[in-house]
Structure 1
Amino acid sequence: MKIGILALQGAVREHAGLVEACGHEALPIKKVEALDLVDGLIIPGGESTTMRRLMDRYGFTEALRRSELPMFGTCAGLILLAENVVGSEEGHLGKLDITVERNSFGRQIDSFEADLDVRGIDEKAAAVFIRAPHITSTGTGVEILSQVEGKIVAVRSDRHLGISFHPELTDSTVFHQYFIDMVEACVQKELSVEI
């Protein structure tokens, strides 16, 4: 699989390292045209308002709204994938039928690490929470994968995965492999439809 990483802001190199550790090719995406080269896309953490502006400026917003690519959003990437954001009129890409609240675990000094139980994954998943959002509600077709302190921090739908934290700041490939498995399933489904 070729997995793209939106390279406008965030820990692009770290995500690429984990994709490669899973045995797949990672491709930093800096131009909209490059989306045609990949099977799935990671939207990394960063500052969601800045990322939103950069996506608008470089044409990614409309391209990704139309795109059928499987997408994986981490931290700010989760906020961008959400249909609704607390305190905003609407979400940005609207790919996940969820409502997200920014910075709900506190400020930078309140950052923490946790080993999460995740539905569908046998081993614990290492997670780093930095000014992390959480998911306040989920809609139709969204599966809750993990919670911390009673707050939803990981969800998936058919082809989209969203998490509140930074798996790329750990050595764990658990979430990247989970996403790659999702991408492979989507590709297989599309191939079987074509046949």
Structure 2
Amino acid sequence: MSPRIGVLAVQGDVREHAAALAAAGAEPTLVRRPAEVEAVDGLVIPGGESSTIDKLVRAFELLDPLRARIASGMPVYGSCAGMILLADRVLDGAPGQQSIGGLDITVRRNAFGRQVDSYETDLSVEEIPGGPVRAVFIRAPWVEEVGPGVEVLASVSAKGEDHPIVVRQGPLLATSFHPEVTGDRRIHERFVELVRDAAR
């Protein structure tokens, strides 16, 4: 059975994640309404503009249903803005910005700088076999602090310090970068495994 994995479809790289999920063996479905949150086995929160996604999530009355499903153990993968929205604590957020939460991390929004500071690199990521992962950082966050239940799967050195950029806490996975734009499906395949594990 292919797990039914939603992509939060209010803003951002929605089509790219849906295509990556399909290639990784899942049945992707777009999530825009509270009832659709209840109908999926897992969820991807895509990259985009985190403050805009936050406003739209609240406008579409998705915040409480999302928080409830995450609290009940639904697997969620957040990339870039999705990492910010999954984080319990956000530094340098827009005025009034909220997160959905669930992942015991503190993230710094736009930590790497502006659009002109976007870059690519090859990363070794724990739990992802097959050699380095090509990571595309676009106005990306990084993780400033992790709680005791959070595993750091990859870090990068920036501005003189190492910063976590791939983290997992049980069924919650987050990356600072955008694997959906590279054609490498291994991050999505790992998330599909987490969804299947949660369903067992």
Question: Displacement of 1:90 after TM fit?
Answer: 8.4
% identical equivalent positions: 44
Q: Partners of 1:48 and 1:121 in 2: how far apart?
A: 26
Residue matched to 1:193: none
Q: Partners of 1:140 and 1:66 in 2: how far apart?
A: 22
Residue matched to 1:83: 88
1:101-140 aligned at under 5 Å gives the runs 101-123=108-130, 124-140=132-148
Deviations 1:52-92 (A, max 9, x none): 01001111111111113211111111001001111459852
Residue matched to 1:72: 77
Give the letter for the 1:79 counterpart: I
Residue 174 of structure 2 corresponds to residue 162 of structure 1:
yes
Q: Partners of 1:186 and 1:147 in 2: how far apart?
A: 26
C-alpha contact 2:78 2:85 (8 A) present in aligned 1: yes
How many residues were matched structurally? 188
C-alpha contact 1:84 1:90 (8 A) present in aligned 2: no
Q: Which secondary structure state, in structure 1, belongs to the residue aligned with residue 127 of structure 2?
A: coil
After TM superposition, which residue ranges in structure 1, 4 or more long, deviate above 6 angstroms?
none
Q: Partners of 2:182 and 2:9 in 1: how far apart?
A: 19
C-alpha contact 1:40 1:183 (8 A) present in aligned 2: yes
Selected match of 2:184 from 172, 182, 188: 172
Deviations 1:126-159 (A, max 9, x none): 2110000000010021000101112110100111
Give the letter for the 2:183 counterpart: D
Task: Sort the Cα spacing of 1:90 and 1:140 in 2 relative to 1 into closer, same or farther, 3 A.
Answer: farther
TM-score, structure 1 as length reference: 0.92
Residue matched to 2:154: 146
TM-score, structure 2 as length reference: 0.90
Question: Displacement of 1:16 after TM fit?
Answer: 0.8
C-alpha contact 2:25 2:189 (8 A) present in aligned 1: no
Q: Partners of 2:102 and 2:121 in 1: how far apart?
A: 27
Question: Displacement of 1:125 after TM fit?
Answer: 1.5
Residue matched to 1:191: none
Q: Which secondary structure state, in structure 1, belongs to the residue aligned with residue 149 of structure 2?
A: coil
Q: Which secondary structure state, in structure 1, belongs to the residue aligned with residue 29 of structure 2?
A: strand
Q: Partners of 1:97 and 1:81 in 2: how far apart?
A: 9
Moved more, 85-94 or 161-170: 85-94
Q: Partners of 1:94 and 1:108 in 2: how far apart?
A: 25
Residue 48 of structure 2 corresponds to residue 46 of structure 1:
yes
Moved more, 50-59 or 120-129: 120-129
Q: Which runs of 5+ in 2 are unaligned?
A: none
Selected match of 1:24 from 12, 15, 26: 26
Q: Which secondary structure state, in structure 1, belongs to the residue aligned with residue 106 of structure 2?
A: strand
C-alpha contact 1:118 1:125 (8 A) present in aligned 2: yes
